[in-house]
Structure 1
Amino acid sequence: MRVGVPIFLFLAAAGFHTALTASLESAEKEDTFVGLEQLSNLQKRDQEEFEAAQMSEAVQDENTEEENDTLEEGMNRDGNVEADQHESESDEDVDCMRQKREHLEANVEEADETTNLTEVE
């Protein structure tokens, strides 16, 4: 019986060691799996945030382009209005000059007629 007790204790210790090792390996595998799952979830979240940021930037770029187009159209429209005003001022100047010339020509003709009448008398 004295030989049986140490053998029994050795087998019990070996069995306990095997069970403990298997339990630790199982827990380690679970931790690794949970860690990978968490890492995967973080990567998915990061990817979604990255895509959302890109979409936001694209929308901002479109809005900026639209604002620039609107400003350019406004500037072109203002330039066209100024050009139209300038053209209308030029047309008014031409009309005014034409009227002055016609008036001067009429005065010259009257002066010529008056001169002709005085000469005839």
Structure 2
Amino acid sequence: MKRYIPFILLAVLGLLINACYYDEELELPQDNEPITEEVSFSADIQPLFDQSCVQCHGGNLNIAPILESDVAYDILINEGYVIPLDGEASILYRSLIGDGVALMPPSAPWSAQKINTVKAWIDQGAKDN
């Protein structure tokens, strides 16, 4: 029996190592990638929602917040998902980085560039432009 202990320990160690393995590393926004140009809700933010979000946050599922183009801005502002001038405190931004709320989108986290675009829009005042 003592002969099998090293093999058992090795098998357990292998399971533990593989249990902690991640297929993809989440790409978090980098502070060295600031966006200095003005970000437009209609030209820059809504297209991101249309590509990745409205399948669940609109259409047949209608999971809150609804992010369809005709209502997204008003819902984000009026229901507190966005705090203009404060991206770090905004639920929208925090959900994109998984900070205290569910990571969105759950199937494929956004690139740092997309996340930084949303944060820049919020930090610039979250204008309806």
TM range, normalised to the smaller chain?
under 0.3
Q: Which has the higher contact order (CA 8 A, sep 6+)?
A: 2
Using the size of structure 1 for normalisation, the TM-score is 0.28
Structure ID, larger Rg: 1
Q: Which has the higher helix share?
A: 1
